[in-house]
Chains A and B, each alone.
Chain A
Amino acid sequence: MKIIKLLMLSVAILFLIFAQNNLDPYTVSILNNIAIFGILALSYNLINGVAGQFSLEPNGFVAIGAYVTALLILPASSKIDMFALEDPAPIILAMHTSFLPALLMSGIVAAVLAFILSIPVFRVRGDYLAIVTLGFGFIIRIFAMNQTKYTNGAMGLNDIPDNANLLWTGGIIIVTFIVMLNVIYSKYGRAMKAVRDDEDAATAMGINTFWIKTYAFMTSAFFEGVGGGLMASLLTTISPDQFTFLLTFQLLIIIVLGGLGSMSGTLIGAVLVMGGTEWLRFLDQNMDIFGYNTGAHPGLRMVVFSILLIIMMLFARRGIFGNKELTDMFKRGKK
């Protein structure tokens, strides 16, 4: 079993190196997109799928991660040039690191915020939790809009050094995947699932449900922050408008499609959703069907994509993988 894991890992790494050096930029950009949304969806699935806490805040943590990384890797000179609305705060000018510490910092800031947030948030359950966390996402965006001293407001940040490439995004999605599985297959992951299934029964087993939820929330926020940092460096430009609720919604589609609580399902969901929307792009263009020109219908691909999603959800109510992992399926096959 260990050999198979190592083999899969080395195949994945070889593929990343090959893809980075040999594939055309368009394909690489799609793969990057898949990897980043994969990272975000994997971490979102820990709190939403595994721990069963229906929260809607990832856009907030991704925004924090993106801004922290961007501000840390931008040189002071370009910050001065860029901040048009107000001069940057001294602390913004002073902070500068290389890429890896910046990403780690993004994750840590997001995780610390998640901890602070968990104190009020986990006093409520279910629908109320969704509303409270939704509010957090809004607050972050409004903060980014209005604190021009720190974030350059609605103008956003440009010319962010493009340190990220497929090796970074691919490497980090592998790390995220392994960490998530390690969490799930430990006593903490079991406790998270117990909280999801029946919170009162989990308490009756001596589990401190607040801490278990907070662990899941902080881990989730850490990787969402890192993912946000990667996104900033990859796009080289960020603005508050990128981090609306639509981002959360996209992640939600990925994890529901892949299966709430299934990490391997999430990877497949990310490929299908992010790859699928690209692949269906031909629908937006002129098409010849049996010699009849349909004309261009911009937006048709999203219509088709939505219909495909509906069909998929009708046939696989609990997502493609349910809450099982790929390895669980192998086990069942053996029996």
Chain B
Amino acid sequence: MILELKNITMQFGGITAIDDLNFGVKTGEIYGLIGPNGAGKTTLFNIVTGNYTQTKGTVVFNHEELSGVKPNEIVLRGIARTFQNIRLFKSMSVLENVLIGFHHQANYTYFESILRLPRHFSNEKKIKKEAMILLEKFGIADLADTNSSSLSYGNQRKVEIARALATNPRLLLLDEPAAGMNPSETEDLSNIIKKIKTEFGLTILLIEHDMKFVNQMCDKVLVLDYGEQIFEGKPSDAIVDEKVVAAYLGDFEHA
């Protein structure tokens, strides 16, 4: 188990967004998190990445407890994420966006960059080269100098994932990666995700509404409804599960 959530409860004032949730993600798995809007999926992501502090329970990543660790330090421990509504650095080029992910892999101090000492140049050269290799893997190397806000939606998503990969994660959290994409872009994306997963030895936890995508990608899914776990297992079993269907479409028998 690379990631374990034990008895996670999250309350915002009087509202319980997540209620006593337990699950674990095995190393090398693609784990899907599905559920209707407002089920608490993104809240769960924010707990894992340290943006929210859970009311109760513990998150264990790689045998280490994550409570009290700041979001930027959690990234350094090996958890990277993308956002539901793509959040690129809009004034920067594609390459610069990815270079932000390499921030901690460039080893020079503030004064070394002010005085332009050799270490500044050698490190900048190194991370630029690595960033270009990463962009090539996503097939967007030719867009390196383009401003990130002028890209198509599909390419913006790729840059966001590339940027997250630049931090050298072991666990990648993808928040609705296929949202707003047409079928061919989705196809393209799922191929890339599969490719990078094997290449970087990643474990992936993803939120998605596109069930075809989930079916194709995920080894296992967890279905959430109003903060409660209603199903865990294979994606093909999820869509025929009574409780899951009821959560999405309403409960016909008791209606």
Residues of A within 8 A of B (CB): 179, 182-183, 186-191, 193-194, 196-198, 200-209, 215, 261, 323
Contacts and interface: CB of A to CB of B under 8 A. Distances in A.
B252 interface: no
B151 interface: no
Q: Which of A201, A207, A209 neighbours the largest number of chain B CB atoms within 10 Å of its CB? A: A201
Interface of B: 49, 51, 70-73, 75-76, 80-81, 83, 87-92, 96, 99-104, 106, 108, 110, 113-116, 120, 123-124, 127, 163-164, 166-167
A261 B127 CA distance: 24
Given A201-B87, A204-B75, A206-B72, A187 B114 contact: no
B92 A193 contact: yes
A201 B103 contact: no
A298 B254 CA distance: 83
A188 B92 contact: no
B79 to A, nearest CB: 10
A194 B89 contact: yes
List 4 tightest A-B contacts by C-beta distance, closest first. Answer: A206-B75, A186-B113, A197-B89, A201-B87
A208 B92 CA distance: 19
Given A186-B124, A205-B75, 12 more contacts: A183-B114, A187-B123, A200-B51, A201-B88, A202-B100, A203-B72, A204-B71, A204-B80, A205-B101, A205-B103, A206-B101, A206-B103
B2 to A, nearest CB: 18
A197 B148 CA distance: 12
A187 B96 CA distance: 9
A194 B100 contact: yes
A183 B76 CA distance: 23
Contacts of A188: 110, 113
B113 to A, nearest CB: 3
A194 B75 CA distance: 16
Contacts of B49: 204
Contact of A206 (B51, B76, B99, B106): B76
A179 B116 CA distance: 9
Given A194-B100, A201-B87, A204-B80, A187 B108 contact: yes
A193 B87 CA distance: 14
B140 to A, nearest CB: 18
Q: Which of B71, B90, B115 neighbours the largest number of chain A CB atoms within 10 Å of its CB? A: B71
Given A182-B116, A186-B113, A207-B100, A201 B71 contact: no
17 contacts: A182-B114, A183-B114, A186-B124, A187-B102, A187-B106, A187-B108, A187-B123, A187-B127, A188-B110, A197-B91, A197-B92, A198-B88, A200-B51, A204-B49, A204-B80, A204-B81, A204-B164
Contacts of B127: 187
Given A187-B108, A193-B92, A205 B114 contact: no
B103 A207 contact: yes
B75 A187 contact: no
Q: Which of B102, B103, B167 neighbours the largest number of chain A CB atoms within 10 Å of its CB? A: B103
A209 B96 contact: no
Given A188-B110, A193-B89, A193-B92, A205 B124 contact: no
A203 B71 contact: yes
Given A187-B108, A194-B92, A179 B114 contact: yes
Nearest to A323: B91
Contact of A187 (B83, B91, B99, B115): B99
